[in-house]
Structure 1
């Protein structure tokens, strides 16, 4: 199975979420099942939204994708970094569910906080 890589850079603005989602899904859809494309679409949207909201605001958001036997997506912002914490708000309060969804839908995920914040996830291909 051939390995593919896509590295993208976006301005830290809300419109970048749709751009990232569209570019990644268009590039990867020929190699994935429809269900995996929909999961990818949701998780990329959540992570890029978080990077735009919580990043530095002055530096670009980077999205790196690698796929062959598995799909690995990394979203990088150059903010101050953070440690994910469990969500304690009521379920009807808006926001705060992005990393919860990543944890439920991804096969693996994590956060690295050297030189900003990198949130990554892995989807196993079926």
Structure 2
């Protein structure tokens, strides 16, 4: 008989900046105590960056938008998917030294073992990033 996988942790938050703190807390509370503190820190940092991007760039501004967060372990990684109702495709940019924004995905690129952007089947976009449970440190 195959091993039954864990049910992913799943949350929906209002597309509002106050949700970023709530999402970080939810992720940290859902992780097992045996994970290294650096992995928990990195997952919370990824949560902040991805959720902030979803709120800023993917919410339609209609007031009732929600952003979705899913966290699950698989294949030696913790995977984080942040989804929003927007149709844009987030892209890695290299802002100049005087730019105040635009470095979120550079941070994701630096932290994540792998990441990608995927359209959702019905509406919106998901950014998925994974961190290796066995990474050095």
TM-score, normalisation: structure 1:
0.90
Moved over 3 A (4+): 1-4
Give the paired residue count: 125
Using the alignment, how far apart are the partners of 1:51 and 1:117 within structure 2? Answer: 9
Q: CA deviation at 1:86?
A: 2.5
Unaligned runs of 5+ in 2: none
TM-score, normalisation: structure 2:
0.83
Deviates more, 1:68-77 or 1:10-19: 68-77
Q: Tell me the C-alpha RMSD between the 2 structures.
A: 1.8
Unaligned runs of 5+ in 1: none
Greater helix share, structure number? 1
**3-state SS of 2:50 partner:** helix
The structure-2 alpha-carbon separation of the partners of 1:100 and 1:15, relative to structure 1 and needing over 3 Å to count, comes to same
Aligned with 2:67 (options 56, 61, 64)? 61
1:10-25 to 2 correspondences below 5 Å:
10-25=13-28
1:14-53 to 2 correspondences below 5 Å:
14-53=17-56
